[in-house]
Structure 1
Amino acid sequence: MRFPRRPRLLAALLLTPLLTGCFASSGDDGGESTDAKDGSRLRVALAFPPAENLSPYGADATILSRLGVTEGLTALDANGAAAPALAASWRRADDRTWLFTLREAVFQDGAEVTPAAVAAALTHATEAKPAPAALSGVTVTAKAEGSTGVRVTTSAPDPVLPLRLSSPSLAILSPKAYDKKGAADPVGTATGPFELTEVNGSTTAGLDRFDDYWGGRAQASGVDARFIADGTARANALRTGQVDVAEAIPVAQAATLDADTRRETATTRTTSLLLNAESGVFKDASLRAAARAAVDTSALAKGVYEGHADAGAGIYGPAVTWAEGKRVQPAGRAGAGKPAGASITLATYDNRPELPEVAQVLKQQLEKAGFKVTLEVREYSRLESDALAGKFDAFVLARNTLVDTGDAVAVLASDHTCGGGYNIAQLCDKTVDRAVAQAGSTADAAERQDAAMAAEAAILGTDAVVPLVHQRVITGVGTEVSGVLLDPYERTLVGTGTRR
């Protein structure tokens, strides 16, 4: 059964303090307009087609959160702190236990959001294979606590659990979403302001407004999403009025859009060259050092990105404002060896159109240093499994370092440790693992930042990761569109206040 509805004005007044400054909220144009009941549908072009049938546990989780389909217990606010979402509040009971109090909400299939349903959803996430990146290195147990509470326990102290639970890959779905094999279907089973009603493979998806959304009715009546991997085609679709919003506009296409339709957002995304440290040519640390020495990052920032990016300084870039003053120089690096014509395969994907050009420039730089380079470019969904399996010698990846949890340590654990679920560099180094574990166990915020930077230095010291550039993202927004949600974590795009 559904919860009885509160008067809309009262609900809005009660929710306002909770949502101020939160990227998961309705944005500058939030609230309900007089034409909300019959609002226009939004047409959105996304860069990444579903790679895993819109499973909430992997890369597709961000697609669902950007379209306003899914939510977690928490969200991230404008400062990167944990903010209320399905959980109205929380407290830490002891070193390993947190108690979350749920707000009144319903799933899109009409079922109540109960403690038992939330605990079951989190349990399904912990059992997913591979594990969501947000749970890398963490063991979580969730149990219902009374009529409104969920008790979440970790095997070891986890001072950033509320941040971790904001991850799009830990979204809460209705019990009907899960099958006996552990797969999760988000169609009509989530809690966000828009309900996924139709998915046409990797080409389009349809969403309708969810009128019983706890945060108030969305101003748009629905969303028609198109997955357009080609960046030029996305820009053309916006310019010709075929879509209202187009994400990840290529730098080369930015000048073709009117100035009032471009939005540039500083993000925590870093593009890096990842070198396979487990097998092949780059198992040799001296050849990784030679590759790192061959790379000229300033040529990439000024040339390929035409000034819309900063030269790589580390895993964390300028948008992580505290990082620069705490950065530690890597120590113990191997000396550069001689490539002597060693053959390598360098791969990347074309969903972010600058990446093939970055890879082409790197190919030239590496060949000048003495490597023989074969370049391979595919659409991301056709490349990911091979990349994670370590089938390439080198890989160019654009990665938002805070997208999974909002915690700077989490990306280090998932991407650069022996047990990491997104370890494309296949890095397994005891010194790195110890440094990341030390950072993960540090509770004090300032000390945790220091520990994260020490871990970053340990990772960079292996030369398995070569930071290239820190990106700014360009989003195309039609002149009649307002309320688009642009945040440095790239988790949100469409919310209750997005309309045309």
Structure 2
Amino acid sequence: MFRRTRRLAVISALAATAVILSACTGSAPEVVQTSGGDPDPDATLTVGLVLEPTNLDIRHTSGAALEQILVDNIYEGLVTRTQENEIEPRLASDYEVSEDGLTYTFTLNEGVTFHDGAALTSADVVSSYEAVRTDDTLQGFAEFAGVASVEAPDESTVVITLTEPNQNFLFSLTGPAGLVFKSGDDTDLQSAENGTGPFTLQNWSKGSTITFDRYADYWGEPAGVAEVVFEYIPDFTAGVNAALDGSLDVLTAVDPNLTPQLEDSGEFVLTKGRTTDKATLAFNNAKAPLDDVRVREALRLGIDHEALIEAVGAGEPLYGPIPELDPGYEDLSEVAPYDPARAKELLAEAGQEDLDLTLTIPSFYGTTVPQVLVSDFSKIGVTLEVDSVEFPTWLEDVYTNKDYELSFVLHVEPRDFGNFANPNYYFNYDNPEVQSLYAEALAEIDPDASADLLAEAARLVSEDHAADWLYTGQTITAVRPIVTGFPQDSINSRINLAGVTVAAE
């Protein structure tokens, strides 16, 4: 059996930096270290975010806006992940994986309660996971397709048996699929919650703020602040203005072009965090003329990726579907180098010298990327119309109905290569060889061998020009010096706030 246990952290060794670790909350994420004074346990932390969720039902609603604030703060799973995408226990004190990769045995931590006061038992885990396994309306249903059974031998043990090995299964438990809900609970998850995390929901003022309170009876280390207020500011300039007028302690997703204002103020520390955010130019592979690989390749060759990143102000080049923090990453820059002359040749071969296309983009992404694409494409004879829409419209038209030609969105979820092995995903990309390699990678018990298979599949996807990956995002965060412990990396997919403190002023 492969055994992994939660390691106790040595609090005293870290006291000088005020990073709080515990046996209950796992190892600390990479954080912003500032020079604040003594933490104020009664403090309020105010965080500026861009994208507000449409509802709070993380069981039925996809999207980073929910995961960003709810996972680890309100809801917890048996396991979670660090900002480096490493898996560690959460509600489970430890777990074992059988040598054949089919059986996962979890032991629950003691003293865990839901926010309504009910004690967590293995029956709640079984109920939660059986629902995911059997209800195709729940997030994670596809990830549980290979689950044969979920059983509770006793109140503190959960045993999950798979029909075949799945290299990604444990990682899938770190996301919405693995969250644990109270059995038989009738909480209206659209607007309320009943999790086990270090915070509870105090209030949601739609279109403005979501407020969390510290959960006094949390089973682990208490949260470092009494209250968290998420301020939703979709306009980047307005976000900077709010920070500068003292309304915010932290501003996430800072527009790189606006960083000088924050730096010059002397009121904030700015950090660049690593992400798995794939700035994806999606092609509708089933819609003419994008069903022609020559057209897709031409569009990729016509984009000056280095210049685009310079215009955006932050990011790293990415020429394939797997970012550097995920298994299977390979530098694929040679697949689609900047070559507008060759792009024109390919369009001529495809009979598409005077091509008109429409780019559908959520409005909160701004105009920088569309402007660069319009300019680059014009140089190869392609006229690009830009349709900037509200995010709910994008979800309905592009993501759900697949009614688009080109689209741009940041895909922030880690290990999501499976989207290109899913012909029903909004990319409309259907390659049986890629699907076979991905299936082999999941079934491979050896993680290194699995990563090799993923790399092979990712190269095929890039060589098939199923999309263009404009860059891997870097997240810029502005933090007031009185704030300590705010996560730095991967915060577009989750912000674990339990260890954050605010000094008394």
User: Shorter-chain TM-score: what band?
Assistant: 0.7 to 0.9
Report the Cα distance in structure 2 between the residues aligned to 1:92 and 1:449, rounded to whole angstroms: 19
Report the Cα distance in structure 2 between the residues aligned to 1:314 and 1:154, rounded to whole angstroms: 30
Change (3 A) 1:26 1:456: closer
**Higher mean C-alpha displacement, 110-119 vs 155-164:** 155-164
Aligned counterpart for 2:209 among listed residues 204, 211, 220: 204
Whether the 8 Å CA contact 1:134–1:167 is kept in 2: the answer is no
Deviations 1:365-389 (A, max 9, x none): 2233233322111232331221212
2:353 maps to: 340
Change (3 A) 1:391 1:136: farther
1:233 aligns with 2:234: no
User: Which amino acid in structure 2 is aligned with residue 224 of structure 1?
Assistant: V
Q: Unaligned stretches of 5+ in structure 2?
A: 1-8, 14-20, 337-342
1:294 maps to: 302
How far the C-alpha of 1:89 sits from its partner, in A, is 1.0
Q: How many residues align?
A: 467
Deviations 1:138-168 (A, max 9, x none): 4334232311111222332113422221114
2:404 maps to: 392
How far the C-alpha of 1:321 sits from its partner, in A, is 8.7
2:54 maps to: 51
1:119 aligns with 2:126: yes
Report the Cα distance in structure 2 between the residues aligned to 1:184 and 1:293, rounded to whole angstroms: 46
How far the C-alpha of 1:116 sits from its partner, in A, is 0.9
User: Which amino acid in structure 2 is aligned with residue 416 of structure 1?
Assistant: F
Whether the 8 Å CA contact 1:231–1:352 is kept in 2: the answer is no
2:340 maps to: none
How far the C-alpha of 1:453 sits from its partner, in A, is 0.7
Report the Cα distance in structure 2 between the residues aligned to 1:196 and 1:412, rounded to whole angstroms: 33
Aligned counterpart for 1:380 among listed residues 391, 408, 412: 391
Aligned counterpart for 1:417 among listed residues 409, 413, 421: 421
Cα RMSD over matched residues? 3.3
1:351 aligns with 2:364: yes
Change (3 A) 1:290 1:324: closer
What is the DSSP-based 3-state SS (H/G/I as helix, E as strand, rest coil) of the residue aligned with 2:454? helix
Tell me the percent identity.
20
2:101 maps to: 95
1:3 maps to: none
Report the Cα distance in structure 2 between the residues aligned to 1:374 and 1:329, rounded to whole angstroms: 26
What is the DSSP-based 3-state SS (H/G/I as helix, E as strand, rest coil) of the residue aligned with 1:312? coil
1:149 aligns with 2:160: no
2:3 maps to: none
Whether the 8 Å CA contact 1:56–1:186 is kept in 2: the answer is no
Report the Cα distance in structure 2 between the residues aligned to 1:127 and 1:469, rounded to whole angstroms: 37
Change (3 A) 1:67 1:363: farther
1:16 aligns with 2:19: no
Whether the 8 Å CA contact 1:55–1:186 is kept in 2: the answer is no
1:364 maps to: 375
Whether the 8 Å CA contact 1:248–1:475 is kept in 2: the answer is yes
TM-score norm. by structure 1 comes to 0.84
1:215 aligns with 2:220: yes
Whether the 8 Å CA contact 2:208–2:232 is kept in 1: the answer is yes
Report the Cα distance in structure 2 between the residues aligned to 1:236 and 1:335, rounded to whole angstroms: 46
1:265 aligns with 2:273: yes
How far the C-alpha of 1:133 sits from its partner, in A, is 5.6
Change (3 A) 1:18 1:198: closer
Change (3 A) 1:202 1:145: farther
Report the Cα distance in structure 1 between the residues aligned to 2:319 and 2:271, rounded to whole angstroms: 24
How far the C-alpha of 1:177 sits from its partner, in A, is 4.7
Whether the 8 Å CA contact 1:309–1:470 is kept in 2: the answer is yes
1:482 maps to: 484
How far the C-alpha of 1:107 sits from its partner, in A, is 0.8
User: Which amino acid in structure 2 is aligned with residue 469 of structure 1?
Assistant: Y
Alignment of 1:269-280 (within 5 A): 269-280=277-288
How far the C-alpha of 1:466 sits from its partner, in A, is 0.9
1:82 aligns with 2:93: no
TM-score norm. by structure 2 comes to 0.83
Report the Cα distance in structure 1 between the residues aligned to 2:118 and 2:423, rounded to whole angstroms: 36
How far the C-alpha of 1:108 sits from its partner, in A, is 0.9
2:247 maps to: 242
User: Which amino acid in structure 2 is aligned with residue 112 of structure 1?
Assistant: A
What is the DSSP-based 3-state SS (H/G/I as helix, E as strand, rest coil) of the residue aligned with 1:311? coil
1:317 maps to: 323
Report the Cα distance in structure 1 between the residues aligned to 2:189 and 2:12, rounded to whole angstroms: 31
Report the Cα distance in structure 2 between the residues aligned to 1:490 and 1:478, rounded to whole angstroms: 19
Whether the 8 Å CA contact 2:101–2:445 is kept in 1: the answer is no
Aligned counterpart for 1:70 among listed residues 59, 67, 75: 75
Whether the 8 Å CA contact 2:24–2:220 is kept in 1: the answer is no
Aligned counterpart for 1:496 among listed residues 495, 498, 501: 498
What is the DSSP-based 3-state SS (H/G/I as helix, E as strand, rest coil) of the residue aligned with 1:69? coil
Change (3 A) 1:424 1:253: farther
Report the Cα distance in structure 2 between the residues aligned to 1:469 and 1:78, rounded to whole angstroms: 19
**Higher mean C-alpha displacement, 334-343 vs 164-173:** 334-343
Alignment of 1:23-38 (within 5 A): 23=29, 35-36=40-41
2:16 maps to: none
Report the Cα distance in structure 1 between the residues aligned to 2:387 and 2:26, rounded to whole angstroms: 45
